Structure 1
Amino acid sequence: MQRRALLAGLLAAPAVARAEGPFPDRPIRLVIPWPPGGTNDIVGRLVSEGMAARLGQPVVIENRGGAGGMLGAEVVAKATPDGYTLVLGGSGSLTITSLVQARVPYDVATAFAPIGLMGVGPNVITVHPSVAARNLRELQAVARAAPVPLSYASPGVGSTGHAAGAMIAQALDVPMEHIPYRGTGPALNDLIAGRVQVFTNALAPLQPHIRSGAARALAIAGRQRSSAMPELPTTGEQGFPQIEAATWFGLLATGGTAPERIARLHAALNAALEDAEIRRRLLEGGLEVEPSASPEEFTRFFAEDRARWAPVVQRAGMRVD
């Protein structure tokens, strides 16, 4: 009996060793909960390349857009908590969507294990060149004189762009019509085509079109000017300090993932963000690189961001049943 027990233990030992072997030992999947072409996609692909080099395993991108980022987030929320399925989260896809949607298929407070913050980018308020406004006061005048409400695009219901547009309408005291899209790319295409008049989003995908004249930037929706576009005044400088909308980008795993795996991923993420070339490209795209010192610090940031946006969403009546 004892010999059989000893034999069983010896046979089981290799399996335990394999289970507790080096992490990662196979490719990691990074779900970006938006279609290709937007800021999330740009940031995710850039950082994933840096992480892959440091983890010794490929980081495979999977774009899964829809429902303001909720569809992609759900994939990760319900994945095996082994650290091999990650999500590029943000203020829109995780924070605001969870406040706007009446039925969220996961508990945002427990379904994810925060790994680390990548950076924060204040949104830039832009208009189609046909709109006769070069600052927020002029936009207010144009909106008040328009026979029908101006329309503003967003990457989807519950996105940061949705909340920011509602915030702008409230601050300017003008009616505006929300037009949601399935991601930044389609929304940007319709702004450039003139099908919508206003679009507020992170700077990275908008910057080339601002430079070309296809879109006109009115203000940075933050407390400080952007280092990527220092000539553009902030909303506060134009007399509307209540308009403040920043988009943050962070990495999260499935809730319940082992702390040591979270720590390994956090170290790889921060190492990638310290790479001079990656930092340069992120800064050029309008993202202020702000890595978190620890997963715990990012966890606190995540909770505080949700508490900050909750009253904004409530005042705007941004509820989807």
Structure 2
Amino acid sequence: MNRQLEDGERVVGTEVLHGGSTAEMRRLTVGAPDGSTRDLVLRSFVAPCHRERAEDWLGREVGALTVLAGTGVPVPGLVAADPVAAHAEHPSLLMTHMTGRTVLNDEGVETRVPLLARQLVAIHAVRPAERPPKYEALTTADTVVTPAGARTAAWAAAIDVIRGPAPPYEGRFLHRDFQPGNVLFDVGSADPAGARITAVVDWAAASWGPADLDVAHCSANLALLHGPEWGLRFAQAYEAAGGVLAAAVSERRYWLVRDALASSEEVRPVSRTWREAGRPELTERAVEQRLDAYVTALMDATADDWGCPPPQAGEPRR
């Protein structure tokens, strides 16, 4: 750490940052001889189960922060990285501190969703000289966890959807964990309409794949945080912001269902993280019920619900 500081600088304060589920985050206040200070953030993979993948995750994050520097996408500046703990106690990444904070409450969601959509469109517009690794699906038909009391017919149909091969797609630069917990907002204004995004963080899963998959991931998180209807609305907001999704209903459903079902395996840790962040009503059971309602809504949705263009004459609806 010290080798990354300027001459005469030293760490004069530390603060644990909460909200991350795979890495420990600390805000470091660095003091200079002239009395000025600056803030850095140290991201460290401490748990043995996460250290195993730390080199891959940190490699992806270093690549993403390097690619995105100067693009207009608000991301932390890369200071240093030690993916294999050659110089630090744990695999770590040091970056600049970004202003703002995550906002997970229901108030103002109707204002934040278009901002999230526009930001994701900007991310997908990035064309890196070197592509990051291909996306990971995160679930299979055999690992889905159907919640107790769920509508079994809808879940069986949803699981059948992802048994088939992935639809063809045009690759895009993906965040792969783009969701409200990884977006910082300026909350200086008491008026939710005055919100603006100050940073997109946690690029450890940066990938190459379909834009639909990033949209599906954010949609699932919005559905569980704010209600199933927000999952469908996010796809509409993404298109309204200029984003392009799969044209066929069957293809949109595939990606949306795939990431919704992946959420079934993470209900316990995700709901705990949200409760710790100030949403005590989001118990494990409450999140399961929202997920059930969302999966059912996805299986019932039509082309009109997603704003898909109508098929051309003689072309069947898919």
Higher relative helix content: 1
Q: What is the TM-score with the length of structure 1 in the denominator? A: 0.24
**Structure 2 length normalisation: TM-score?**
0.24
Higher relative contact order (CA 8 A, sep 6+): 1
Structure with the greater alpha carbon radius of gyration: 1
